[in-house]
Each structure stands twice: as C-alpha cells, then as structure tokens.
C-alpha cells in the first residue's frame, strides 16, 4: 500500500504542539477520511513534538498496513518534517504512572498518557489527536484542559 507520505512544508509558526498517533497516521495515509483536516493543521505548526512512544505506535500501525518499506520511508523523512522527536524523561515516566493510576477507570492508555506527560513538561496546551475522549477527560496540571485539534 503506497498511500502514505509525509508532508514537508515550511510555515512560520513558533507555537509548539504535541502529536498523538491518530493524527500522524491520518496525515500519512492518503486514504484516511481525516487526512485533509489534519494536513491543514500540520502546515500551521513549524514544530510538532512527537514523543518516541507515539512514533513506535505509528510505525507499528503503518508497518502492519503498508509494510516495512513504508516505515523506512517515514523514518527517513522525519528530519525534514515538522515533527521533532522527544524522548520520555524519568519525570515523564513517573507522571505517566500517576496519570494511568488516577484515570484507571477511564482506561487512558500508555501512549496517550505519555503525550499528556510530555505536554505538561513543556507547558503545551494544544494536542493534535483524533482521540477526543481521552484528552478531553484529562485535566493537565498547567491548565483546565487541552485544546484538541482537529
């Protein structure tokens, strides 16, 4: 399946946001029903933090659907994209455990909790995700809620 591509557009915008898996997969998959909406948002932000946990989940999903060659293309294109890889720090891992424990009844998953922890570490309010439920339930330490795009 060759429906996957990574946009490489340069726009001036200094605001930093964090991406979740669904956003990235929709951006890469030309057949995804959300692609047009996420592409418009992607070009608005010069720097989009991509937690390595999200990259792992994206690579798994893309690889399963489109094959290893597509994952290799994705990985090679990251340095020229708007995405900036971000590793989890010890403090993030601790925060992820706190989020998972506090929201255990809501079944927020590990990757979503890692996106939340990274956003808190950087004081980021905007999350790029298609997962409205989990991110709307969560109350970050630096504000009442996240702004969810699209």
Per-residue pLDDT of the chain (150 residues; tens, 9 = 90+): 344 444 333 333 469 999 999 999 999 999 999 999 999 999 999 999 999 999 999 999 999 999 999 999 999 999 999 999 999 999 999 999 999 999 999 999 999 999 999 999 999 999 999 999 999 999 999 889 999 999
Burial (CB < 10 A; 0-12, 13-18, 19+), residue 31, is exposed
Q: Check: CB of residue 135 under 8 Å from CB of residue 127.
A: yes
Strand partners, 19: 128
Question: How far is the CA of 72 from the CAs of 33, 47, 69, 76, 128, in angstroms?
Answer: 24, 22, 5, 6, 23
Model pLDDT, residue 64 = 96
Model pLDDT, residue 14 = 63
Model pLDDT, residue 143 = 85
Model pLDDT, residue 11 = 34
Cα distance between residue 115 and residue 128, in whole Å: 10
CA gyration radius, the chain: 15
Cα distance between residue 112 and residue 131, in whole Å: 9
Q: Give the closest residue to 124 by CA, choosing from 18, 14, 13.
A: 18
């Amino acid at each position: 399946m060759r429906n996957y591509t990574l946009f490489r557009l340069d726009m001036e915008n200094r605001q930093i946001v964090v991406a979740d898996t669904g956003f990235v997969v929709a951006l890469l998959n030309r057949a995804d029903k959300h692609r047009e909406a996420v592409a418009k948002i992607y070009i608005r932000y010069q720097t989009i933090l991509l937690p390595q946990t999200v990259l792992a989940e994206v690579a798994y999903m893309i690889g399963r659907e489109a094959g290893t060659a597509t994952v290799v293309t994705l990985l090679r294109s990251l340095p020229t994209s708007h995405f900036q890889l971000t590793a989890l720090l010890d403090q993030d891992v601790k925060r992820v455990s706190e989020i998972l424990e506090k929201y255990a009844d809501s079944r927020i998953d590990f990757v979503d909790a890692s996106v939340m922890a990274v956003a808190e570490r950087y004081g980021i309010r905007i999350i790029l995700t298609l997962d409205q439920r989990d991110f709307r339930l969560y109350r970050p330490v630096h504000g009442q809620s996240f702004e969810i795009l699209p």
